[in-house]
Amino acid sequence: IISPIDKLHYKSLPNAFVYVADDGLIKAIHQLTPTDAPMTEEAFLRKVDHRGELEKLHLAKGEFLIPGLIDTHTHAPQFPNLGAGQEYELLQWLDNVVFPMEANFKDVDFATKAYNRIVERVIDAGTTTCCYYGSLHRDATKELAKIAHKFGQRAFVGKCNMDRKSPPYYIERTEESVPHTKELIKCIRELSPSKDGSPYVYPILTPRFAISTTDKLLEELRDFADSDPTLAIQTHISENPAEVAEVKELFDYLSKPGNPITYAGVYDHFHLLRGNTILAHAVHLEEKELKLIKEREAGISHCPTSNFNLTSGMAKVGDMLDRGIKVGLGTDVGGGFAPSILRTIQDASIAAKVVALTSPIKSPDPDSFASKPLKIATLFWLATLGGAQVCNLEHKIGSLEVGKSFDAIVVDIRNTHRHSHHQEVSPLNPNIWGVGDDLELGLDIRRRNDGEDVDDEEKLKQELDAMLERLMFCGDDRNLRRVYVQGRWIGGTEHRRRD
Ligand code: GUN
Ligand code: FE
């Protein structure tokens, strides 16, 4: 079992049991001692099902459990665009690529078929909690919420509010936007809860971005948000320089003498910047915006794949972490060209390295995250507990701890052929060297400096650490054998589809 503790630490339990009860919550995690033999060579997942029977899953060497990955920002109706229109910057890309595709989701039949496939795809990428933007359409977005619920994925689902600077074929009337949003929220809140009474799917207010909403609509959204402080909010912020310039121009009337309005200031003016707000991108924030975001306790969705792909820039994640701002990861499909948080981890690492390489000033504080590569533990944390904080669900998800929900992935990095009871499954990922086969080498790279052998327990821990690193940097869907949300097996390479 590998599970994050904080931004700098995670725990690796080589020989352990997880007990998951019928309500999907983790009842116990036991680290076995050597005297518990003969079980010491394996980790166990043990699930007590509704008949009180034990369903047991043994994990062999090369397999391990991690908490489910959390995608704090993606656009469900942009999945058909994956890999298309990749040479644009943001504003031209929206006009030429995004809006024409999203407009298709007016057709509820098409949307339903597409969302079934899309949600399955996201689950199989290991995302157990996903913050989805829908299109602007109420009815299609209802289907998205119902489909996530049907598959048992934990999700936030919102329809875009957009009543200006959008093409005539893809824009809503101001007076429809909030009423349609309210209908969607009502529908989502009526979906049945999970076995511990908590929802799987949460509604989320989704003003597309400051440019696409009129003042009148922003005022209505402000009043509505004020009336429901528990309602989460997601939007985009400071992704691209041309976008930032346009926001400042549109909202210049909010500037005060000597104090020009900022992008974050616009959202704050309309009461949309609060502890349950998720801000995607945050690439070009100014000092006073960072301070304001910290003060309001809003969270950031770091979307490095998209930020590179649309030539938006690199968010200064290390600096945000130093300031104590909440940060998680987002795939931002279709700005990002991969629906996988594993891929996002890899790009978050590269982004931090490029920031470090190009930043002339390094903090003298050795504990600072700014202008340095992100550590393995920090990247793992961003993809799990960091995302949970951004979603304000840290009490429930993000790590494998007693009392939390069993949202988890059975990872398999063995590079060997194997069989399940039903079918041959060969998720062979040739980029990961043959763990568990006769060419097994390389997992003991962290020998002690003094050359002395470490004890067996320590050796197993080091092997697990090495496996996590392999997964994070070379892993993909092929390595995700089973995906669980609240104790329910919902996806992964070994899952047999439900039709
Ligand atoms: N800003 C406004 N809409 C979008 C969108 O769909 N994707 C991204 N990346 N940025 C946006
Ligand atoms: Fe986005």
pLDDT (average), residues 433-441? 63
Query: What's the rounded Cα separation, in Å, for the pair 245 and 241?
Result: 6
- What share of the chain in percent tops pLDDT 70? 88
Ligand 2: distance of its center to the CA of 199 in Å?
Answer: 24
pLDDT (average), residues 24-50? 61
Residue 40 contacts residue 15 (beta carbons within 8 Å): yes
- What share of the chain in percent tops pLDDT 90? 76
Given its phi and psi angles, is residue 240 left (phi above 0), alpha (psi -120 to 50 degrees) or beta? beta
Cα angle: 156, vertex 490, 148; to 5 degrees? 30
Pocket test for ligand 1, best of 306, 307, 332, 337 (most atoms within 8 A of CB): 332
Q: Which of 200-214, 263-277, 428-442, 461-475 has the lowest mean pLDDT?
A: 428-442
Ligand 1 atom closest to Cα of residue 310: 9
**Domain residue ranges in the chain:** 2-67+402-491, 69-390
Equal fold, 2-67+402-491 vs 69-390: no
- What contacts 275, CB < 8 A, 6 or more positions away? 296, 297, 298, 392
Give the CA dihedral 220, 221, 222, 224, nearest 10 degrees.
Answer: 90
165 pocket-lining for ligand 1 (C-beta < 6 Å): no
Give the 3-state secondary structure of residue 130. Answer: strand
CATH class, range 2-67+402-491? mainly beta
Give the 3-state secondary structure of residue 414. Answer: strand
Quick one: which H or E segment has residue 222? Answer: helix 215-227
Quick one: which H or E segment has residue 91? Answer: helix 90-93
Residue 381 contacts residue 6 (beta carbons within 8 Å): yes
Smallest CA-to-CA distance from 390 within 262, 302, 287, 485 is with: 302
Pocket test for ligand 1, best of 71, 93, 94 (most atoms within 8 A of CB): 94
Q: Which residues of 298-317 are buried (b: 16+ CB within 10 A; e: fewer)?
A: bbbbbbbbbbbbbebbbbbb
Ligand 2: distance of its center to the CA of 214 in Å?
Answer: 19
Pairing of strands 63-67, 418-419: unpaired
> Binning pLDDT at 50, 70 and 90, where does residue 120 land?
very high
At residue 110, the pLDDT reads: 98
pLDDT (average), residues 463-482? 93
User: In the chain, what is the straight-line distance between the N-terminal and C-terminal CA atoms, in Å?
Assistant: 32
Q: Which of 137-151, 351-365, 405-419 has the lowest mean pLDDT?
A: 405-419
| 3-state class percentages of the chain: helix first, strand second, coil last, to nearest 5 | 40, 20, 40
**What is the rounded radius of gyration, in angstroms, for the C-alpha atoms of the chain?**
23
pLDDT of 447 strictly over 60: no
Residue identifier of the C-alpha nearest atom 3 of ligand 1: 208
Smallest CA-to-CA distance from 73 within 273, 290, 239 is with: 239
- What contacts 333, CB < 8 A, 6 or more positions away? 74, 75, 78, 79, 82, 339
ipTM: 0.99
pLDDT (average), residues 10-27? 90
At residue 451, the pLDDT reads: 60
105 pocket-lining for ligand 1 (C-beta < 6 Å): no
- Of 362 and 452, the one with more pLDDT: 362
69-390: CATH, from 3.40.50.10860, 3.30.465.10, 3.20.20.140, 3.40.50.880: 3.20.20.140
Q: Which of 48-62, 126-140, 195-209, 244-258 has the lowest mean pLDDT?
A: 48-62
pLDDT (average), residues 350-364? 90
At residue 450, the pLDDT reads: 57
Give the 3-state secondary structure of residue 452. Answer: coil
Query: What's the rounded Cα separation, in Å, for the pair 52 and 65?
Result: 23
Pocket test for ligand 1, best of 73, 74, 86, 90 (most atoms within 8 A of CB): 90
